[in-house]
A and B are shown apart, each in its own frame.
Chain A
Amino acid sequence: MSGESAGGRFLPRERDWHPPALAPDYRSSRLRSPRAPLLSLPSTLSEETGPVFGHVSIGELDHDLVHNYAAAGASALGPRILVHGYVRDQSGRPLPHTLVEIWQANAGGRYRHPNETYIAPLDPNFGGCGRCLTDADGHYRFQTIQPAPYPWPNGPNSWRPAHIHFSLFGEAFAQRLVTQMYFEGDPLIELCPIVQAIPRADAIDTLVARLDMDAALPMDMLAWRFDLVLRGRDQTYFDNRTEGL
């Protein structure tokens, strides 16, 4: 047994493209950031494999945050929006049938959570969670309401830009990723220490969803396009290995 997976090794993560563990302006990172260097080594079978969610039964409304917590006949308050895009790996290959989970605040900027203390009201028809599997082309689609910005206890007057949290699996545990989607034109993006922990402006830009009028539903909902990229395999390594067999 070679100890190699069917797809081959993963490319090393570009650590200077991601936020560092310690970003002092994001206060919570100060005591929660490892200080020793990460132990770097090539991926093994343990990272090149990952859970398969194809069999998980996804409910009919799981992707529909407007309705999945609402009373019968009711819907969540706020601007109705469609959020969609493709999930690919670094070589541009679509990642089909992969689990995408999202969560967000309501249209007043309030989360439905026991630790939440913001004064904005809960919406009795909005839970804030959604999930779907990408289709055969790696495409995902949610309908939800536009979340609002909200204040948070970081500095004396800190506000998060409107955002939707995303959790992705890909096809191997090496690809596991959690990130956040922002909205084009939000002036709070450049003021947010969580966003600005990302060291490069062009990297931040990839987390900003674009208004997508082609996908908007007339008289129903605006659309936002947000594509995601997960780690890719080392094709050079894989090609060489295949030839050597």
Chain B
Amino acid sequence: MAEDKLLHESPSQTAGPYVHIGCLPNFCGIGGVYAADPGSVLVNADTRGERIAITGRVFDGEGEPVKDAVLEIWQADAAGVYPSASDPRGDADPNFFGWGRAAADLATGEYRFETIRPGRVPFAEGRLQAPHVTCWIVARGINMGLQTRIYFADEAEANAQDPLLALVEPRARIDTLIAASDGDGSYRFDIHLQGARETVFLDI
């Protein structure tokens, strides 16, 4: 199809402060409509891979936690395969959904995902990406969902070869994409919307 025949994407609008109503109704006290909030559980007893937890907060330009944020993650299974029709390999772990959604705590701003460590995902030319989790953030005041990636501090060798991390300038900003390990499979990933530690956001 010729470029000029393409439709425009629908313009984005902020999710607003009440995003929970539509995305996590049980979380905000609207019980009885959906049996469970979508994306609240990523793994079950049969999911393959190392259990990890990722927690953190989203901060605004004055360092205040964004307590109305909702985050979503999308990641490959332990073997690096996506549970998606678009992954041509098509043999993802049937006990792993790959997608999660969590609200920042309304009082503290803390979010938490319990998932598994993703495997390495292929890139072009036979290269591999370092293990990573795609992360998407919406909140009041965010006009278009912000996308970033969560990499892992204890994957230094893979991170050094990662094709996306290789593009980050200035190099010091790479740290904003790397979750710190607290040991025992716990990782901390804080997101800074503005300021000296502003997270690298992606147009991808």
Contact = CB atoms under 8 A, between A and B. Distances in A.
Contacts of A128: 21-22, 30
A159 interface: no
A50 B136 CA distance: 13
B3 to A, nearest CB: 8
A51 B74 contact: yes
A92 B5 CA distance: 9
Contacts, number: 294
A13 B144 CA distance: 11
A43 B173 CA distance: 21
Contact of A32 (B28, B99, B141): B141
Interface stretch (B31-39, B108-116, B152-160): B31-39
A167 B142 CA distance: 14
Nearest to A230: B9
A88 to B, nearest CB: 7
Nearest to A97: B85
A2 B204 contact: no
User: Which among B34, B98, B132 has the highest number of chain A CB atoms within 10 Å?
Assistant: B34
Contacts of A176: 72, 136, 145, 147
B8 A17 contact: yes
Contacts of A43: 204
B11 A179 contact: yes
Contact of A102 (B22, B138, B145, B147): B22
Contacts of B172: none
Interface string B43-85: 0000000000000000011101010100010101000001111
A50 B18 contact: no
A235 interface: yes
B86 A91 contact: no
A163 to B, nearest CB: 8
B122 A18 contact: no
Interface in A224-242: 228-232, 235
Interface in A151-195: 165, 167, 171-174, 176-180, 194-195
Nearest to B193: A32
B183 interface: no
A1 B122 contact: yes
A31, A49, A56, A171: residue with the most chain B Cβ atoms closer than 10 Å: A49
A32 B139 contact: yes
B182 to A, nearest CB: 25
A229 B8 contact: yes
A108 interface: no
B29 A114 contact: yes
Contacts of B201: 34, 36, 38-39
Contacts of B13: 19, 165, 178-180, 194-195, 198, 207
B135 to A, nearest CB: 10
B88 A6 contact: yes
Nearest to A51: B99
A179 B12 contact: yes
A92 B22 contact: no
A15 B34 CA distance: 35
Given A31-B61, A32-B61, A116-B18, A39 B28 contact: no
B70 to A, nearest CB: 9
Contact of A91 (B1, B23, B106, B124): B1
Given A29-B142, A52-B83, 20 more contacts: A2-B122, A6-B87, A17-B8, A20-B143, A31-B193, A34-B146, A41-B203, A45-B87, A46-B82, A50-B86, A51-B83, A112-B21, A113-B20, A130-B22, A131-B22, A167-B22, A178-B19, A178-B138, A230-B9, A230-B10
18 contacts: A5-B88, A7-B86, A19-B11, A29-B141, A35-B194, A43-B204, A44-B121, A46-B76, A46-B134, A51-B83, A51-B98, A115-B68, A115-B106, A167-B23, A174-B204, A179-B10, A229-B9, A231-B9
The 6 closest A-B pairs by CB, nearest first: A103-B22, A28-B141, A49-B84, A32-B141, A3-B122, A51-B99
